[in-house]
Chains A and B, each alone.
Chain A
Amino acid sequence: MSLFDLSFKELERQLHNKEITVEDLVDTSYKRIKEVDDDVHAFLSLNEEQAREQARELDKAGHDGRAKLYGIPAGIKDNIAIKGQPLTCASQFLRNFNDPLYNATVVNKLNAEQSVTVGKLNLDEFAMGSSNENSSFVPTRNPWDLDRVPGGSSGGSAAAVAAGEVLFALGSDTGGSIRQPASFCGVVGMKPTYGRVSRFGLVAFASSLDHIGPITRTVADNARVLEVIAGHDRMDSTSADVDVPEYSNLTGDMTGMKIAVPKEYLAEGVSEEVKNTILDALKVYESLGATWEEVSLPHSKYAVAAYYLLSSSEASANLARFDGVRYGVRSENAENMIDMFKLSRSEGFGDEVKRRIMLGTFALSSGYYDAYYKKAQKVRTLIKQDFDKVLEEYDVIIGPTAPTTAFKIGEKIEDPLTMYANDILTIPVNLAGNPALSVPAGFSEAGLPIGLQIIGRPFAEATVYEAAYAYEQETKHYLKKPHLGGGAS
């Protein structure tokens, strides 16, 4: 039994009573990283010296009885700024960007609750991708099967938690980038309501769709991290001024809970194994006192098209800041300013990032704006209305997180549209802004994790956590762990 099998609550008790030390926890983290990360490649950089120093200081000071994440080792997706640590976004453009000027607000909030950041986690370049194969450094591999992708774009975050390298990770989710890797890696991933968590210090991809959220082994731990990072931030004018409840105060009471199951989420394209797993989960909910009915989210099939137009358009504007003037790489081959922009960007960005910048620039260009960008914004309204309507009558919407289990490395990378289709069940929720979580729901015949997605009303994260917790406590899929590094079990 590893210390990393314990809940945050139990660890807090043991730390508080000095049965274990923060140094023990941080040491467990680095030992495990050394044991497995040459295979998994979840981390892009480590912060070992500082983290060990911080651990000694925390041990010296002791737990004050209040700090919610005292001594808990964490990994942060490498598109979130930490002062003094590299910030690469897994892009060659930022390969030398080693000293961001400030901490992201979520990092300041974690520091205030005394977690320990052990390093920065791999991702698809600028969070654009669903497999981590778009990392310009090295692809992360799925701890359950090293020939398979961990999902993306927060693949490093999900893999690090699944492999037991950290106790929690922060990821970002623009079209499913927290939930889909959580599903593929058998961990819990939460995309909170749009505006629930400040994005200050998150490198922007698509500002109307970007979210930060936690990835953990269990629901209760996840709720505790969100409790810490949520809340209004004057540094992010899109953060919502809505009170943060105590999410981790969970009962698991499902009595009277009304569940909607969209028929579009169990339709063609969703594998039989995934579908049957979700139907089994609904039986569990029935046994817990909840009821479910089939509903329709009729505009679901248009979500992927609308999403790629909108997210790429926003990305083309957001990534204009990477010009080679103030930070990042600058091409040596330019003689004038415009060439410097063009060559620096072309040498620094990978294929998928360029493809999306091109698509977005096209969709926003004169003559096409109304036909593509504005049309997609209108379809977004219809998709949001679908969710609003169903959630007037039901407490949560439940379905799969991803249509399949983790696919093989190399299987989908050649065809952008095949890759995009993988996010068909997560993308609609980003367009609508509702909170949604993926919780482990069991395993395929091949032993690969399957995720259950729970979608709630705006700012009703507490309800989503309750539904996830009730199911998790009944099924306890989190107890099964990948065999890695000499057979952790």
Chain B
Amino acid sequence: MANITRDQVMHVAHLARLAVTEEEADAFANDLDAIINYAEQLNELDTEGVEPTTHVLDLKNIMRDDKAEKWAHRDDALTNAPDKQGGQFKVPSILE
């Protein structure tokens, strides 16, 4: 049975790249606990030997020629950028 702790929530939030306060973590723990408990009903079903469905179309790999095509100009691609410099996206430092 699910019983999701604050620590678990903080760990998942880090994986999801969300900043979560301790108060928010408690609220998420409650919500996730309720949803996961609800989802436990799937265990009533015997799925031994049942193939998982990832998507419903009978499609395998879709191939195309490895050929460059004209797409957005670099300046266009940068129009919506929060920060840019010298034709590139600018971000804060990655290494401390």
The answer on a CB contact under 8 Å between A324 and B82 is yes
Complexed CA–CA distance, A334 and B9 (Å): 22
Contact of B93 among A195, A301, A336, A342 (CB under 8 A): A336
Q: Which residue of B lies closest to A361 (CB)?
A: B16
CB distance from A90 to the nearest CB of B (A): 17
B41 interface residue per 8 A CB criterion: yes
The answer on a CB contact under 8 Å between A382 and B56 is no
B91 interface residue per 8 A CB criterion: yes
A4 interface residue per 8 A CB criterion: no
**Centre residue among B20, B28, B57 by max chain A CB count within 10 A:** B57
Given A343-B19, A382-B47, A433-B57, A358-B80 contact (CB < 8 Å): no
Q: Which residue of A lies closest to B50 (CB)?
A: A378
CB distance from B58 to the nearest CB of A (A): 9
Task: Please report which residues of chain B, range 4-54, place their CB below 8 angstroms from some CB of chain A when the two chains form the complex.
Answer: 4, 8-9, 11-13, 15-20, 28, 31-32, 34-36, 38-39, 41-45, 47, 50-54
A6 interface residue per 8 A CB criterion: no
Complexed CA–CA distance, A101 and B17 (Å): 26
Task: Please report which residues of chain A, range 351-375, place their CB below 8 angstroms from some CB of chain B when the two chains form the complex.
Answer: 354-355, 357-359, 361-362, 365, 372, 374-375
Number of interface residues of B (CB under 8 A): 51
Residues from chain A with Cβ under 8 Å of B43 in the complex:
375
B62 interface residue per 8 A CB criterion: yes
The answer on a CB contact under 8 Å between A326 and B18 is no
A111 interface residue per 8 A CB criterion: no
Given A101-B72, A340-B92, A302-B41 contact (CB < 8 Å): yes
CB distance from A327 to the nearest CB of B (A): 4
CB distance from B96 to the nearest CB of A (A): 7
A35 interface residue per 8 A CB criterion: no
Contact of A208 among B39, B56, B82 (CB under 8 A): B56
B81 interface residue per 8 A CB criterion: yes
The answer on a CB contact under 8 Å between A378 and B57 is no
Complexed CA–CA distance, A238 and B51 (Å): 20
CB distance from B19 to the nearest CB of A (A): 4
A345 interface residue per 8 A CB criterion: yes
Given A309-B39, A329-B82, A342-B17, A375-B47 contact (CB < 8 Å): yes
Q: How large is the interface on A (under 10, 10 to 19, 20 to 34, 35 or more residues)?
A: 35 or more
Complexed CA–CA distance, A196 and B64 (Å): 20
Residues from chain B with Cβ under 8 Å of A379 in the complex:
42, 45, 47
A442-474 vs B: 1/0 string, CB under 8 Å? 000000000000000010000000000000000
Residues from chain A with Cβ under 8 Å of B59 in the complex:
195, 237-238, 240
Q: Which residue of B lies closest to A320 (CB)?
A: B17
The answer on a CB contact under 8 Å between B16 and A308 is no
The answer on a CB contact under 8 Å between A340 and B91 is yes
The answer on a CB contact under 8 Å between B52 and A372 is no
Complexed CA–CA distance, A374 and B52 (Å): 7
Contact of B34 among A101, A309, A417 (CB under 8 A): A417
Contact of A305 among B31, B42, B72, B82 (CB under 8 A): B42
Contact of B35 among A330, A338, A416 (CB under 8 A): A416
Given A195-B57, A238-B59, A378-B52 contact (CB < 8 Å): yes
Residues from chain A with Cβ under 8 Å of B39 in the complex:
305, 308-309, 372, 376
The answer on a CB contact under 8 Å between B94 and A302 is no
A419-444 vs B: 1/0 string, CB under 8 Å? 00000000000011100000000000
Complexed CA–CA distance, A372 and B83 (Å): 39
B79 interface residue per 8 A CB criterion: yes
Given A299-B45, A336-B94, A375-B47, A417-B38 contact (CB < 8 Å): yes
The answer on a CB contact under 8 Å between B12 and A365 is yes
Residues from chain A with Cβ under 8 Å of B79 in the complex:
99, 101
A316 interface residue per 8 A CB criterion: yes
Residues from chain B with Cβ under 8 Å of A433 in the complex:
55-57
**Centre residue among B36, B39, B72, B92 by max chain A CB count within 10 A:** B39
Q: Which residue of A lies closest to B84 (CB)?
A: A326
CB distance from A303 to the nearest CB of B (A): 10
Given A101-B72, A325-B91, A358-B9, A316-B16 contact (CB < 8 Å): yes
A335 interface residue per 8 A CB criterion: yes
Task: Please report which residues of chain A, range 308-347, place their CB below 8 angstroms from some CB of chain B when the two chains form the complex.
Answer: 308-309, 316, 320, 323-330, 334-343, 345-346
The answer on a CB contact under 8 Å between A102 and B72 is yes
Residues from chain A with Cβ under 8 Å of B38 in the complex:
305, 417
Q: Which residue of A lies closest to B56 (CB)?
A: A433
Task: A327-B82, A355-B32 are known; give 9 further A-B pairs, CB within 8 A.
Answer: A101-B77, A195-B59, A208-B56, A238-B55, A305-B38, A339-B92, A354-B18, A359-B36, A433-B57
Provide a sorted-by-A list of 6 A–B residue pairs whose CB atoms are within 8 angstroms. Answer: A240-B59, A309-B42, A340-B91, A343-B19, A378-B47, A433-B56
